[in-house]
Structure 1
Amino acid sequence: MVLAAVVLLMPFFWMLMSSLKPSNEVFAVPIVWIPDTFVWSNYLDIWTESNILTWTRNTLVLSVSVTFLQVLTGSFAAYGFARMRFPGRNALFLLYVATIAVPWQSYMIPQFILLSNLKVANTLWAIILLQTFSAFGVFLMKQFYETIPEELSEAARIDGMSEYGIYRKIMLPLSIPAIASLSLLTFVNTWNDYLGPLIYLRNPDLWTLQLGLKSFVSNLYDTDYALLFAGLTISVIPIAIIFLLGQRFFVEGIATSGMKG
């Protein structure tokens, strides 16, 4: 376990140390793991020499919006598949979940044409609309709902509670681990997304962190790698904090939703 942890953490350690080196020492041979002098000004320079505050704001808006919408739509649809009885339910669920196997690259061109015709290309709305629904989120939440005893819902119906009330007052409070897992996975995926913003966000004022950091790489010789690694370190910090705060719920949600195998 210690060896596995070292192997996994070594790239992050090198990234952190490289963000504190002079730019010409980042790829020095032999590798200098710990610099003699820590250049803390790299973090100040990236804030003053780039538009990283705007990139961070755009990324945060997209990540929070997409996460909220996917949790809302995924949990609501999952309740219908898990608790409602209607003809063709299982076939419809299998068809919907099967879309996970279809790579986005196979239909991103007609999707781009559709969003361009709707006049939302080159806006943050394009990314939000693309990811409002998630078949994976529905699958994850449905698997968790099925671990909740049906008797709770039946008792609520006998007391006169509507299906909306059961969903809001019973299912959601009992599904905190699954919601935390879905929120974390969705937030991380949206935060790290590069291809979607690359296709739809052409205005530099709408760039996310991933697009903004890519702008540091002009060519092999002009790239300021120290600033680039400083930006990468900054981009990792929110993900690390969120995961550390929610890891207990994340592990519990994955284990109880039947995905641990």
Structure 2
Amino acid sequence: MTITAGRRRRAFSVGRIAGLIALMLAAVFALGPLLWAVTTSLRTPAQAFENPPQWIPWNPDFGNYAAVFEQVPIGQFFLNSMIVTVLIVVGQTITCTLSGYAFAMISFPGKNVIFGAFLATMMVPLQTIIIPVFLIIKSFGLTDSLASLIIPALGSAFGTFLMRQYFMQMPRELGEAARIDGATQFGVFWHVYARMAAPAISTLAILNFSGFWAEFYRPLIFLQSQSNFTLPLGLVGLQGNLGTGSISVVLAGVVLSMIPSVLLFIFAQRYFIAGVTAGSSR
């Protein structure tokens, strides 16, 4: 028995060490491009193309970041992206949480058919419907405005699916007890289930923020005025540096655009992990 237990402990230790090594290698491959972008943004244009690359710039050149602010109105781009992203995140959080709760907890005719139609929209690429969406936006006179990005994104089939699956794990007895106490349908949702769904709501908000903050395709189609450009689209104005070899300036702009998403994940990763792993122990 003692020998068998010792072998199991050694096998567990070896397996754990191998797993840690695999995770460290995966982290290196995942963070390598990010590290290269950050370090290159701190080099001079001549140093940017050194081979092998200088991973640690001993004489960092912060002038590249100053050049970004001089060449493009990055403050305006940042404000536009923040307005669009925050309003979409708030809107989708509300609509997807309510619709997910309805599909999970409320019985009504055609519920499964309607939910199936919702899921079917997830299989349709955005590129195939962008022309009808653009025509609808144009008919409302919203082209070249931030509203053209916000309004079509206030609902989400993926968000509805995510919240529905989370609500379906919750005990229905809690809602029934609240109704016996006189709570309305919305009262049951708000005071009972919405509070329990905080991890899933946080996960949805983080995913939406990261996705829409970096969105490029729809702004490219809907926006024409530079004053309305979001950050990813506005940074295209730095591409002139590629012709002169100043890739460091371009990457400085890229690094600046990543800061909000990185900070959000750092401060909200506890809620994100809780939402992603919810139900794994069941």
Please report the TM-score for the alignment, with normalisation by the length of structure 2: 0.88
> Quick one: higher RCO (CA 8 Å, sep 6+), 1 or 2?
1
2:278 to 246, 256, 260: 256
> Do 1:216 and 1:223's aligned partners in 2 also have CA atoms closer than 8 Å?
no
1:112 — aligned with what? 134
> Do 2:38 and 2:255's aligned partners in 1 also have CA atoms closer than 8 Å?
yes
Shift of 1:42: 1.8
The one-letter code matched in structure 2 to 1:256 is A
The one-letter code matched in structure 2 to 1:31 is P
Structure 2 residue 240 is matched with structure 1 residue 209: no
Shift of 1:30: 3.5
Using a 3 Å threshold, how does the CA distance of structure 1 residues 257 and 142 change in structure 2: closer, same or farther? farther
Using a 3 Å threshold, how does the CA distance of structure 1 residues 93 and 182 change in structure 2: closer, same or farther? same
State how far apart, in whole Å, the 2-side matches of 1:236 and 1:50 are: 17
1:159 to 181, 185, 189: 181
Structure 2 spans left out of the alignment, 5+ residues? 1-22
State how far apart, in whole Å, the 2-side matches of 1:129 and 1:85 are: 28
The one-letter code matched in structure 2 to 1:81 is F
1:64 to 61, 86, 105: 86
State how far apart, in whole Å, the 1-side matches of 2:245 and 2:198 are: 44
Give the secondary-structure state (helix, strand or coil) at the position aligned to 2:244: coil
> Do 1:67 and 1:186's aligned partners in 2 also have CA atoms closer than 8 Å?
yes
State how far apart, in whole Å, the 2-side matches of 1:56 and 1:172 are: 31
State how far apart, in whole Å, the 1-side matches of 2:105 and 2:40 are: 52
1:241 — aligned with what? 263
> Do 1:141 and 1:257's aligned partners in 2 also have CA atoms closer than 8 Å?
no
Structure 2 residue 29 is matched with structure 1 residue 7: yes
Matches within 5 A, 1:139-154: 139-154=161-176
The one-letter code matched in structure 1 to 2:25 is L
State how far apart, in whole Å, the 2-side matches of 1:204 and 1:42 are: 22
Shift of 1:257: 5.9
Name the count of aligned residue pairs: 259
State how far apart, in whole Å, the 2-side matches of 1:17 and 1:219 are: 17
| Root-mean-square deviation over aligned CA pairs | 1.6
2:202 to 171, 180, 185: 180
State how far apart, in whole Å, the 2-side matches of 1:223 and 1:115 are: 39
> Do 1:216 and 1:224's aligned partners in 2 also have CA atoms closer than 8 Å?
no
Structure 2 residue 51 is matched with structure 1 residue 35: no
Percent identity between the two aligned chains? 33
Using a 3 Å threshold, how does the CA distance of structure 1 residues 69 and 257 change in structure 2: closer, same or farther? farther
State how far apart, in whole Å, the 1-side matches of 2:46 and 2:234 are: 22
Using a 3 Å threshold, how does the CA distance of structure 1 residues 223 and 67 change in structure 2: closer, same or farther? farther
1:25 to 44, 47, 53: 47
The one-letter code matched in structure 1 to 2:267 is L
Shift of 1:36: 4.2
State how far apart, in whole Å, the 2-side matches of 1:66 and 1:223 are: 37
State how far apart, in whole Å, the 1-side matches of 2:118 and 2:102 are: 13
2:97 — aligned with what? 75
The one-letter code matched in structure 2 to 1:239 is S
Higher helix share: 2
Shift of 1:32: 2.7
2:116 — aligned with what? 94
- List per-residue Cα deviations over 1:99-137 (Å, max 9, x = no partner): 101101111111101111110010000000120000001
Give the secondary-structure state (helix, strand or coil) at the position aligned to 2:239: coil
State how far apart, in whole Å, the 2-side matches of 1:46 and 1:210 are: 13
- The answer to which of 238-247 and 211-220 deviates more is 211-220
State how far apart, in whole Å, the 1-side matches of 2:279 and 2:122 are: 17
Please report the TM-score for the alignment, with normalisation by the length of structure 1: 0.95
1:169 to 172, 180, 191: 191
